[in-house]
A and B are shown apart, each in its own frame.
Chain A
């Protein structure tokens, strides 16, 4: 019932030695040897992040600078708008926004964060997609933009209600930042002032920060943060259960090239200016499909699902309209146990006829049909400092 697999070709983040020293249980993830949990365990790591502060190594993610050859951030924004259905031009200086790269069919190539750093854009993309994303940006934007990945920077997330108080000791500017503020900030570590990029955002539904720091200073910062009694290191296991409770998508599972942003229930992330009748309507890959779905609706939608009882209903489980019909109506794309609500939670795709909150659908689990209720997300209220 148990299996372990070690692959020596896995890449390591700048915090790899720290994970091992802290007893991290390492697993392969997106080509990296990453901690799925520490001795604390997934359940306690999850609950600690919602009560105190959790430190996550997300250095495997891709950090990319997008700079217009003209030197104007507006030109970089307009260029990026050719690849995403978001309004990047109106993104104010020092602000960050959630976005998706779309393909010609309206599917999602990756989801990402975009920040306006004044003279360039700063992008954070998924680890598993970063090579393709860089190639995609180069292929489509190289005539007007310089695409510069930052492989020599680590990315550390500090998440939870105590994150601001803890980070304030190293970065006095941090507490004054609002949710989705992002920019260059000096971080003080062991007497040194280090040029970092700090955003007040994350992937847990909690208040918190992501700190981009030169790779050779990452361990010093992580060690200093972990010395605070309110901070524990948190592995990928709790990262997944936290984002699931927060209703956030995991790329490659809840959204992928076969799901559009509208089907993925990410309509909120598409600003009016890019929709039909907007100042810069369309003009991104798959815009015909996506704008038509925005105007007329899509046939299915990603919804939150609460299983009755205590059995977790996981990714891949088929959904049915009732307890007997043989044709499935959809599929669970993420599911597990939500430690903060002490109950199983899931998300998946259902036809619009079954997408209303309160609708009962049935999951087929080990030969049995288990009722699940379509439920609003997030499952746990967000705790952002707006």
Chain B
């Protein structure tokens, strides 16, 4: 499994053609206390860069964009009842949704952990 990152502060964990997506720890620290997460419906075909989810802090709402194109095959229902999980465990338990990868080449432009660290520094 490989973990990749976007410039928009999302992480992707690639396992074959299934990609798990969440927001990074840096992103949650910038957002502050998360109070609501809206996730895409299972079965929705997302295009790369399309608004896929919404994460709301006390202060503001922020869009989470689909980092790659693909069909939503699973969502993290736990976030509905416990949105604060995004603050406490952004890069593991607080995953947002899983996509079935449509075009593997879209992964090419993404950053690895080291490049992302430099990007968010």
Contact = CB atoms under 8 A, between A and B. Distances in A.
The yes or no verdict on A and B being binding partners is yes
Interface in B85-113: none
A237 interface: yes
Interface stretch (A15-23, A40-48, A128-136, A172-180): A40-48
A139 interface: no
Contacts of A310: 35-36, 80, 83
B27 interface: yes
Given A37-B32, A337-B36, A2 B9 contact: yes
Given A1-B63, A2-B62, A241-B58, A311 B32 contact: no
A191 to B, nearest CB: 39
Contact of B59 (A1, A237, A311, A366): A237
A1 B57 contact: no
A310 B54 CA distance: 13
A60 interface: no
B2 interface: no
A314 interface: yes
A215 to B, nearest CB: 29
Contact of B35 (A36, A44, A312): A312
B64 interface: yes
A69 B63 CA distance: 57
A241 B83 CA distance: 18
A337 B35 contact: yes
Contacts of B31: 2
A336 interface: yes
A241 B33 CA distance: 13
B15 interface: no
A41 B32 CA distance: 6
B101 to A, nearest CB: 22
Interface in B46-98: 54, 56-65, 80, 83
B62 to A, nearest CB: 5
A337 B62 contact: no
Contact size range, B: 20 to 34
Contact of A311 (B27, B33, B38, B58): B38
A44 to B, nearest CB: 8
A94 interface: no
Contacts of B58: 42-43, 46, 237-238, 241, 336-337, 339
Contacts of B64: 1
A238 B58 CA distance: 8
Contacts of B63: 1
A42 B27 contact: no
B17 interface: no
Nearest to B23: A1
Contact of A1 (B9, B32, B35, B83): B9
A363 to B, nearest CB: 13
A311 B36 contact: yes
B61 A312 contact: yes
Contacts of B30: 2
Most interface-central of B36, B62, B65 (chain A CB within 10 A): B36
Interface string A314-336: 10000000000000000000001
A42 B32 contact: yes
A36 B36 CA distance: 20
A41 B33 contact: yes
A314 B59 CA distance: 10
A17 B60 CA distance: 26
26 contacts: A1-B8, A1-B23, A1-B27, A2-B27, A2-B31, A36-B59, A37-B32, A37-B59, A41-B32, A41-B33, A42-B57, A42-B58, A43-B32, A43-B33, A44-B33, A237-B58, A310-B35, A311-B38, A312-B56, A314-B60, A314-B61, A336-B59, A337-B56, A339-B33, A339-B35, A344-B36
Given A37-B59, A237-B59, A337-B36, 18 more contacts: A1-B9, A1-B27, A1-B62, A1-B65, A2-B30, A37-B32, A41-B32, A42-B33, A42-B58, A43-B32, A43-B35, A237-B32, A238-B58, A312-B56, A336-B58, A337-B56, A337-B58, A366-B38
